């Protein structure tokens, strides 16, 4: 669930209630809990609406919001506000949504895949027995995918298959090497398992995203969602997939505030819905996402944001 940081409080003896905007499935799932434990009502905003509103805002308002990432190099992209649309927004949370954005409030969810962040975390937890997402990510950083992935060279005796554009080091079959011997799961290092899993999922998302961009003739693909978390190998793999499938024509772009699009969109809906009640006198820093609580990478992200360019937003208090 994404919540925004503005708590509205209505002082009215007959109707005393506090509410916050929330979006995503959690806004439905935890609605009763918030009411019961905290006396707070969740005002539900549509998830796709919020994602798009958040992304459009960031791409227009924040300098250096979007960047490309290849071979460990981050390169910021200058966005011309008059030439932003259309673009493909790929949000990688538990599942993956692909949204064609044509303007403010103008969008269509054109595709998606259930093989997303939840798959990496879920399968990874089962296969490596690690206890946290960060641990799994850290494992993948130290792993080598060649141990489990079957490469083109494994099939072609160390040769490239140049006629169809496949180098000997391209993955022919994710996890395919596991069939060629009598190894059990315990014979593999969790680091290598995690690396292959991350590569398989990121590659797949990059490929589906590119195919959808091709389907609608979209030049730009922006990747967001809490799955990415600024992780270099994840971004590198997605970039390589887009580069590979587009034959270098398209580039994957990432967003600095990738995990907060929905929360930001929900926050901005105060303006859409309660303009009359607007009183702008308190400043807070955004983004705020409910899932960030004790997360070390997330704290790092917040530190990065604070060090570089923090955004000031107003909380509306009626």
Ligand X SMILES: Nc1ncnc2c1ncn2[C@@H]1O[C@H](COP(=O)(O)OP(=O)(O)OP(=O)(O)O)[C@@H](O)[C@H]1O
Ligand Y SMILES: CC(C)(CO)[C@@H](O)C(=O)NCCC(=O)O
How many other C-beta atoms lie within 10 A of the C-beta of residue 312?
Answer: 8
Interaction of residue 93 with ligand X, rule CB under 6 A: yes
Measuring CA to CA, which residue among 86, 146, 91 is closest to residue 264? Answer: 91
Shortest Å, Cβ 58 to ligand X: 16
Interaction of residue 20 with ligand Y, rule CB under 6 A: no
Shortest Å, Cβ 226 to ligand Y: 11
69: its two tokens: 């990432």
**DSSP 3-state of 100:** strand
Interaction of residue 124 with ligand X, rule CB under 6 A: no
Taking CB under 6 A as the criterion, the residue among 18, 94, 274, 317 binding ligand Y is 94
Residues 6+ apart with CB under 8 A from 244: none
Interaction of residue 54 with ligand X, rule CB under 6 A: no
Shortest Å, Cβ 57 to ligand Y: 20
Distance CA 243, CA 245 (A): 6
Q: Angle, nearest 10°, between helix axes 261-273 and 47-61?
A: 100
Positive or negative, the Cα torsion across 295, 301, 305, 311? negative
Decide which of ligand X, ligand Y, none touches 168; Cβ closer than 5 to 8 Å per partner kind: none
Write the interaction track for ligand X spanning residues 13-42; mark x where CB under 6 A is met and - where it is not.
-----------xx-----------------
Which of residues 291 and 314 has its CB atom nearest to ligand Y in the complex? 291
Taking CB under 6 A as the criterion, the residue among 71, 114, 296, 308 binding ligand Y is 114
How many other C-beta atoms lie within 10 A of the C-beta of residue 244?
Answer: 16
Positive or negative, the Cα torsion across 162, 165, 170, 173? negative
Taking CB under 6 A as the criterion, the residue among 43, 47, 49, 192 binding ligand Y is 47
- DSSP 8-state code for residue 240: H
Decide which of ligand X, ligand Y, none touches 121; Cβ closer than 5 to 8 Å per partner kind: ligand X
Distance CA 305, CA 282 (A): 20
Shortest Å, Cβ 302 to ligand X: 13
Q: How many of the chain's residues bind ligand Y (CB under 6 A)?
A: 11
Decide which of ligand X, ligand Y, none touches 229; Cβ closer than 5 to 8 Å per partner kind: ligand X
Strand partners, 131: none
Q: How many of the chain's residues bind ligand X (CB under 6 A)?
A: 17
Question: Max Cα separation, the chain?
Answer: 79
Binders in 134-173 for ligand X, by CB under 6 A: 134
Contacting positions for ligand Y (CB under 6 A): 24-25, 47, 93-97, 112-114
Contacting positions for ligand X (CB under 6 A): 24-25, 93-95, 117-118, 120-121, 133-134, 225-227, 229, 291, 295
């Amino acid at each position: 669930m994404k919540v925004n940081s503005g708590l509205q409080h209505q002082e009215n003896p007959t109707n005393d209630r506090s509410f916050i905007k929330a979006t995503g499935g959690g806004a439905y799932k935890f609605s009763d809990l918030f009411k019961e434990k905290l006396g707070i009502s969740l005002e539900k905003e549509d998830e796709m609406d919020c994602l798009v509103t958040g992304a459009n805002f960031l791409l227009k308002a924040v300098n250096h919001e979007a960047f490309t990432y290849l071979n460990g190099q981050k390169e910021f992209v200058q966005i011309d506000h008059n030439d932003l649309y259309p673009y493909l927004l790929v949000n990688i949370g538990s599942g993956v949504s692909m949204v064609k954005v044509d303007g403010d409030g103008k969008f269509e969810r054109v595709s998606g895949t259930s093989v997303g962040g939840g798959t990496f975390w879920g399968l990874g937890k089962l296969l490596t027995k690690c206890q946290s997402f960060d641990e799994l990510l850290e494992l993948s950083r130290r792993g080598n995918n060649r141990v489990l992935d079957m490469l083109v060279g494994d099939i072609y005796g160390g040769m490239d298959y140049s006629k169809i554009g496949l180098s000997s080091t391209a993955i022919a079959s994710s996890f395919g090497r596991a069939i060629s011997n009598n190894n059990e799961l315990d014979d593999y290092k969790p680091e290598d398992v995690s690396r292959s899993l991350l590569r398989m999922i990121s590659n797949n998302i990059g490929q589906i995203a590119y195919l959808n961009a091709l389907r609608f003739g979209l030049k730009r693909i922006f990747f967001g969602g809490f799955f990415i978390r600024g992780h270099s190998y994840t971004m590198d793999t997605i970039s390589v997939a887009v580069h590979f499938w587009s034959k270098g024509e398209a580039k994957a772009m990432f967003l600095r505030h990738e995990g907060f699009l929905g929360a930001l969109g929900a926050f901005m809906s105060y303006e859409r819905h309660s303009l009359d009640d607007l009183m702008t006198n308190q400043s807070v820093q955004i983004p705020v996402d409910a899932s960030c609580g004790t997360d070390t990478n997330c704290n790092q992200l917040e530190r990065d944001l604070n060090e570089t360019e923090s955004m000031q937003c107003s909380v509306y208090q009626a």
